[in-house]
C-alpha cells in the first residue's frame, strides 16, 4: 500500500513539474503547408503568434519580456512575408502599469522588432480591452509599424488583402463589416482574436486564424481541451476548424492565463506557407 502511494505521489510530482515547469515554456515553432484552390500568387509565408500575455512574473505568467524577445528573434529568423498577431498581448486584468506589468509602450517596443516585407498586423484581444487603455496601446503599436485592424481591411500586395476582426468577448466582433471591405475574388488573410467570430464569417479565399483559447491549455486523451470556448464545440479549441465553408486555424498561443499550466498543449507560433492546391 505504501509503495503504491509513493508511486502515485511520484507520478503527481512529475506531472506537476512537467505541466507547470516545462511545457508552458516549451514553445513549438510549427510549419504548416496550407493549400488554397485558385491561389494565383507565389507561395506566401505567414507567421501567426497570438496570446503573448507578456508579464514581469516568470513563475506565474511565464511570458517574460526576455522570453518574448527570444520568440520575436525566432519569428524574424523564419523570414515571413507577413506577420499576424491575433491579440491578448497584455497579461491579467486592469491597467498593467498599475499592476507592475509591462504596459502598451513596453509591449510595443518588443513586438515592434518583428520584420516582414508585407507588414505586421494585429487585432486587440479581450485582455487588451480589459487593460483599459486600448487607444494608447493601439497608437504605441502603430508607431512601431504594427497596423492594428478593428473590423477593417486593407490591401497589402497586388490582389492580396488582410482583414482584422474585433474581439467577441468584449462585444467588438464584426466579421461581416471587416470582410465587406475585401474585394470579391481577392486573396485574403483574416485574423480574429476569438474563434467565435467564425460563426458570422463570410467566405475567405486564403487563410483565417484565431487565438484566445490557448488550446484549452490542458488537453486529455480522447477528450481534447479541458476548457472550451463558451457556446462553441470543444473541437474549436485548437487546430483546423471548418464552419460555413470557412477553414480557420485556432492556435494554442504563446502565454498562459489564469494558471501557469499546460499539458499536451504546447505554446506555439506557426509559419503557414500558402500555395496553390494541386488538381
pLDDT tens for the chain, 279 residues long, are 687 778 778 888 899 899 999 999 999 999 999 999 999 899 999 999 999 999 999 999 999 999 999 999 999 999 999 999 999 999 999 999 999 999 999 999 999 999 999 999 999 999 999 999 999 999 999 999 999 999 999 999 999 999 999 999 999 999 999 999 999 989 999 999 999 999 999 999 999 999 999 999 999 988 899 888 888 999 999 999 999 989 999 999 999 999 999 999 999 999 999 999 876
Distance CA 150, CA 192 (A): 9
> How far is residue 96 from each of residues 68, 92, 134, 182, measured CA to CA in Å?
17, 8, 12, 35
With contact defined as beta carbons under 8 Å apart, do 5 and 245 qualify?
no
| Region of residue 100 (phi > 0: left; psi between -120 and 50: alpha; otherwise: beta) | left
With contact defined as beta carbons under 8 Å apart, do 123 and 151 qualify?
no
With contact defined as beta carbons under 8 Å apart, do 229 and 192 qualify?
no
Sequence-ordered list of residues with C-beta below 8 angstroms from that of 29, at least 6 positions apart, any chain: 74, 78, 268, 269, 271
Distance CA 69, CA 80 (A): 17
Sequence-ordered list of residues with C-beta below 8 angstroms from that of 78, at least 6 positions apart, any chain: 29, 45, 47, 271
- pTM greater than 0.95 (yes/no): yes
Sequence-ordered list of residues with C-beta below 8 angstroms from that of 112, at least 6 positions apart, any chain: 141, 143, 144, 145, 146
Distance CA 223, CA 185 (A): 39
With contact defined as beta carbons under 8 Å apart, do 270 and 47 qualify?
yes
Q: What is the pLDDT of residue 232?
A: 93
Using CB atoms within 10 A of its CB, is residue 71 exposed (0-12), middle (13-18) or buried (19+)?
A: buried
With contact defined as beta carbons under 8 Å apart, do 167 and 124 qualify?
yes
Cell triple for residue 127?
Answer: 485582455
Half-sphere exposure of 49 (CA within 13 A, CB side): 29
Which domains occur in the chain, in start order?
2-276 (3.60.21.40)
Distance CA 48, CA 140 (A): 20
Angle at 269 between CA 267 and CA 271, to 5 degrees: 150
Sequence-ordered list of residues with C-beta below 8 angstroms from that of 221, at least 6 positions apart, any chain: 264
Distance CA 173, CA 92 (A): 21
Amino acid at each position: 500500500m505504501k509503495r503504491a502511494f509513493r508511486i502515485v505521489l511520484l507520478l503527481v510530482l512529475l506531472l506537476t513539474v512537467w505541466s507547470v515547469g516545462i511545457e508552458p515554456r516549451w514553445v513549438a515553432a510549427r510549419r504548416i503547408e496550407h493549400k488554397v484552390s485558385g491561389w494565383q500568387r507565389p507561395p506566401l509565408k505567414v507567421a501567426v503568434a497570438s496570446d503573448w500575455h507578456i508579464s514581469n512574473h516568470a513563475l506565474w505568467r511565464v511570458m517574460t519580456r526576455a522570453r518574448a524577445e527570444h520568440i520575436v528573434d525566432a519569428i524574424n529568423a523564419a523570414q515571413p512575408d507577413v506577420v499576424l498577431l491575433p491579440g491578448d498581448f497584455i497579461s491579467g486584468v486592469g491597467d498593467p502599469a498599475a499592476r507592475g506589468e509591462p504596459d502598451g509602450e513596453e509591449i510595443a517596443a518588443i513586438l515592434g522588432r518583428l520584420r516582414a516585407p508585407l507588414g505586421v498586423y494585429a487585432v486587440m484581444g479581450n485582455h487588451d480591452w480589459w487593460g483599459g487603455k486600448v487607444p494608447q496601446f493601439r497608437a504605441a503599436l502603430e508607431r512601431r509599424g504594427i497596423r492594428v485592424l478593428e473590423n477593417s481591411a486593407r490591401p497589402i500586395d497586388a490582389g492580396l488583402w488582410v482583414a482584422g476582426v474585433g474581439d467577441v468577448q468584449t462585444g467588438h466582433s464584426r466579421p461581416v463589416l471587416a470582410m465587406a471591405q475585401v474585394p470579391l475574388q481577392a486573396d485574403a488573410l483574416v485574423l480574429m482574436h476569438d474563434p467565435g467570430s467564425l460563426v458570422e464569417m463570410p467566405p475567405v479565399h486564403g487563410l483565417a486564424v484565431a487565438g484566445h483559447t490557448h488550446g484549452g491549455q490542458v488537453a486529455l486523451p480522447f477528450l481534447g481541451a479541458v476548457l472550451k470556448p463558451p457556446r462553441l464545440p470543444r473541437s474549436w479549441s485548437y487546430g483546423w476548424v471548418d464552419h460555413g465553408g470557412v477553414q480557420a486555424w485556432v492556435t494554442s498561443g504563446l502565454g498562459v492565463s489564469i494558471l501557469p499550466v499546460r499539458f499536451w498543449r504546447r505554446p506555439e507560433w506557426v509559419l503557414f506557407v500558402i500555395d496553390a492546391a494541386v488538381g
